[in-house]
Amino acid sequence: MDSQLKNSFTPTLDFSTMVEKTKVFTLAQVAQHKSKKDCWLIINGRVLNVTSFLVEHPGGDEILLESAGKDASKEFEDIGHSTTAKNLLLKYQIGVLEGFHVQEPTGANADTKLSSKGPTERKEMIAFVIKDKPSIKYGCLFEFFVPLLVASSYFAYPYVTVISKVDY
């Protein structure tokens, strides 16, 4: 099931898609889309059209429909959704809630941080950094093997020196 979901979403952030996804909606506008045939919800400042996802949602359509037209951020976080689920949010995003904005992606690891800008506060929202570069995967391998090599050399050193000092 997980692999099926991964296949249905290519984790690549394209800036032109990002621009389309910055359309601003009010709570009242989102609230008008709360049926099985037209279901929107808000998660962490993103406005999502999840109509086509209702039948695919592993947690069932009922639970999504309960939050239809509303802010479901708390419910989404409370379940402890996986990174796959979090990445899927981008697929269904059609805009942002009034008061939020998407930061423009910069660099290779473009993220989609959302933040609300009020007169007195600037609240950082959840960021999903998508790591699909092979160099990052190999970097993780080095991070593991280099310390392992250093640690084994450290512990092996006394034995090697003792053996080499043994007078045959």
Q: Rounded to an integer, what distance in angstroms lies between the CA atom of residue 17 and that of residue 21?
A: 6
Shortest spacing between CB 146 and ligand HEM, in angstroms: 32
What is the spatial distance between Cα 55 and Cα 61, in angstroms, rounded to a whole number? 6
| Residue 32 vs 152, nearer CB to ligand HEM | 32
Q: Min. distance of Cβ 106 from ligand HEM in angstroms?
A: 25
Nearer to ligand HEM, 63 or 149 (CB): 63
Evaluated on CA atoms 25, 29, 33, 38, the torsion sign reads negative
The tokens describing 44, both together, are 């962490």
Q: How far apart are CA 51 and CA 41, in angstroms?
A: 10
Minimal distance in Å, beta carbon 83 to ligand HEM?
A: 8
Tokens of 72: 């479901």
**What is the closest distance, in whole angstroms, from the C-beta atom of residue 64 to ligand HEM in the complex?**
6
Residue with the shortest CB distance to ligand HEM? 59
Distances (CA, A) of 131 to 1, 13, 62, 110, 118: 21, 11, 32, 9, 31
Structure-block tokens of residue 50: 């999840």
Name the residues that contact ligand HEM, by CB under 6 A.
5, 43, 48, 50, 53, 57-59, 63-64, 67, 72, 75-76, 79, 81-82, 84-85, 88-89, 92
Residue 5 or 110: the one with the smaller Cβ distance to ligand HEM is 5
Query: Considering beta carbons, is residue 30 or 89 the nearer one to ligand HEM?
Result: 89
Query: Among residues 83 and 152, whose Cβ is nearest to ligand HEM?
Result: 83
